[in-house]
């Protein structure tokens, strides 16, 4: 009798584990069916061009204020958008962002009151080391 109970217990345990594995495999293909799955969004890299007259003449205090405003807006937007850094030139600011999509960058600009003249998704990055890479 003990052997039958033990065998039945093993069968039920194995069956439950197989069903759980099957559900996990299906969930990996369709995360909407598995609400506990962490949905990782791929962040793409974008370059944003902002035309700002005399941007190169902005004081450190002004740049700090702009940075604080940007960070405040980003904090409320969540983890699907990140500001990496910006380059300030004479009449333009070039910003490097990571985001799930272009629309989030447009939303950030609208909420922060920042101009956006173009948004380009980066394909790749090259530099002096690219010339030295072996094919």
Confidence label for 47 from pLDDT (cuts 50, 70 and 90): very high
> Bigger pLDDT: 109 or 22?
109
In angstroms, what CA-CA distances link 76 with 15, 81, 98?
A: 45, 10, 16
Up-side HSE of residue 43: CA atoms within 13 Å toward CB? 14
Examine the pLDDT at 18 and tell me if it is beyond 70. Answer: no
Of 40, 36, 51, 44, the closest CA to residue 93 belongs to 51
Distance separating the N- and C-terminal Cα atoms of the chain: 69
Q: Which CATH superfamily is domain 44-121 in?
A: ORF SCO4226, nickel-binding ferredoxin-like monomer (3.30.70.3090)
Confidence label for 135 from pLDDT (cuts 50, 70 and 90): confident
Alpha helix (H) residue ranges in 30-115: 60-77, 102-112
Instruction: Evaluate if pTM is beyond 0.85.
Output: no
- Return the pLDDT at 66: 96
- Return the pLDDT at 68: 98
């Amino acid at each position: 009798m003990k052997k039958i109970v033990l065998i039945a217990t093993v069968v039920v345990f194995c069956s439950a584990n197989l069903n759980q594995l099957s559900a996990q495999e299906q969930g990996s293909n369709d995360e909407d069916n598995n609400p506990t799955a962490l949905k990782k969004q791929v962040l793409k890299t974008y370059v944003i061009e902002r035309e700002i007259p005399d941007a190169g003449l902005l004081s450190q205090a002004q740049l700090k204020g702009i940075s604080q405003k940007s960070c405040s807006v980003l904090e409320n937007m969540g983890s699907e958008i990140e500001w990496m850094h910006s380059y300030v030139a004479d009449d333009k600011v070039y910003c490097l962002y990571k985001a799930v999509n272009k629309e989030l960058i447009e939303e950030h600009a609208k909420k922060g009151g920042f101009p956006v003249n173009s948004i380009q998704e980066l394909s790749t990055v090259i530099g002096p080391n690219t010339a030295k890479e072996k094919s």
